[in-house]
Amino acid sequence: MAERSVRNAAVIGVGLLVAIAIAPGTRSAGRQGQSFPQRASQAESLTAWEKIAKVLQHPRCINCHQLKSPLQGDTGRPHIPRVVRGPDGHGVGVLRCGNCHDQTGANPTSGIPSAPNWGLAPVSMLWQGLSVGALCRQLKDPARNENRSLDAIIEHMEKDQLVGYGWNPGPGRTPVPIPRKEFVDLMKAWVACGAACPQ
């Protein structure tokens, strides 16, 4: 009888230790010295990033994150006319991006989309062909993201009018797959949980 009481007390004691170890906010170490909440946050961050990457790899973004010339449409076809980057990323000669993509809004007759500062993304921000992990690391790297902090990246995604074109691209073009507010909330969650990147 006494033996059974000792065994029951041991089981209860182990149960309490496990409960304490996994309670939110505890610092109990798991594998590789990480606490359980840290592992949970990393998993949440990676889950958010997976959805974020689907937007950044969408044609609305990739078409202008190009080295020499932009692409067009949902299939990434060569731009017509064949414009080139130029020294400032906004074309050359008479084929300046703003000559057609002016700041007045999409042209209802031609269907040409528009936003302020229309042009190619900086050369350091070429995304096509990157894995989701490589894209994540590039986005976080100030040397390759126009020297932006994570908070500045969120603000860029939330307020920049050219970025906003992805959600309102005009007739015949598929918008990015997540509403802008939801996307910004995912960005905030990704950062708040540690801005984790997959391998």
For the chain, percent of residues with pLDDT exceeding 70: 78
Residue 124 lies in a domain: yes
Q: What is the pLDDT of residue 106?
A: 62
Q: How many Cβ atoms sit within 10 Å of the Cβ of residue 132?
A: 18
Residue 26 lies in a domain: no
Residue 44 lies in a domain: yes
Q: What is the pLDDT of residue 5?
A: 42
Name the domain count of the chain.
1
Residue 187 lies in a domain: yes
Residue 99 lies in a domain: yes
Q: What is the pLDDT of residue 32?
A: 46
Distance CA 15, CA 122 (A): 55
Residue 76 lies in a domain: yes
Indicate the SS3 state at residue 112: coil
Q: What is the pLDDT of residue 114?
A: 86
Q: What is the pLDDT of residue 175?
A: 95
Q: What is the pLDDT of residue 76?
A: 93
Q: Which domain holds residue 66?
A: 39-192
Residue 32 lies in a domain: no
Q: What is the pLDDT of residue 107?
A: 65
Residues of the chain with pLDDT under 50: 1-36
